[in-house]
Amino acid sequence: MADAVPLSPLNDAMTLGIVNDRSANVDADFLMPSMTRVGASPPVSWRKVKKLMSTTYPLFRPQKGATASFRGGMQTLIDRLKHRLDNLENVRFTMNAPVLAPQELAKERGLPLSSVIWCAPLDRPPSEFTHLNIYAAGYTEADTASVSLGYGTLIPDLDSPVSGVLHESDVHGSPRAPSGHRLFRVMSPSTQTGSDDEVKAALRQLLCEAEPVLFEKIGERTIPSYPPGYMASLNPSKATFTRAGWFYSGVSITHVVAEAERIAEVF
């Protein structure tokens, strides 16, 4: 990505915000396959995908640029998709299956390998991951009056314990904070994190000097690495099963409905 988008530090900000890594360490074919034109053309055009997506809104059509969210988060969509799949006679669906390869799954289910749609990485060494600490920070609207409404800020500064701040309550339609307050989600790569106190101190410069009414570490995430040459290393001619997902198609296809439409078109 550093070569494909030679605009430092903007390229670092972008890749940190998407895959928690510096642009020099990220495969451009993976992050922007449509720009680099890697791989075969999708089985259905993006224009047709958008047309198919628009028919899924029976009562209204979202305004361009509008944002929305699921009540209960993305888990709501996952649960609903699982429910629909479980009701199909020709589909058997298992969440968190303890299998490591599609061949193992096909043997266990007594199915030909060609029946498997594999949506997880294969043969990834445990070392090929980055680690991210996530914090929630809440302030009163009065204390953050100088912080512009928006999606957030990406911070490609190696000396900062924070790589990005997302404005949770600004961009979601459903309430994310009590009335009169704003909620922020703070990303802190483990390679830059000193301590919780250092992250909190950094927010005094990044957001406001006021003491947050809420400051809590809410989780840790391990993100797979996609080094230069990653997509080129995946040879689709070797696979006798269907592969899908970010790890295989690249993250330019981020809309789950678009991905579903593309897979459905193949069949």
- What is the token pair recorded at 160? 């900062």
| 179 alpha-carbon distance from chain centroid | 28
pLDDT band at residue 243 using 50, 70 and 90 as cut-offs: confident
**In DSSP terms, which residues pair with 141 in a beta bridge?**
none
Asked if pLDDT for residue 26 goes beyond 70, the answer is: yes
pLDDT band at residue 60 using 50, 70 and 90 as cut-offs: low
Considering only CA atoms, which of 163, 185, 206, 219 is closest in space to residue 19?
Answer: 163
Is the whole model's pTM more than 0.85, yes or no?
A: no
242-243 vs 117-118, strand pairing mode: parallel
Domains of the chain as residue ranges with CATH:
46-68+99-125+227-266 (no CATH), 129-224 (3.90.660.20)
C-alpha dihedral, 186 to 189 to 193 to 199, nearest 10°: -10
pLDDT band at residue 207 using 50, 70 and 90 as cut-offs: very high
Query: What is the predicted pLDDT for the residue at 266?
Result: 59
Which positions ≥6 away from 209 have C-beta within 8 Å? Answer: none
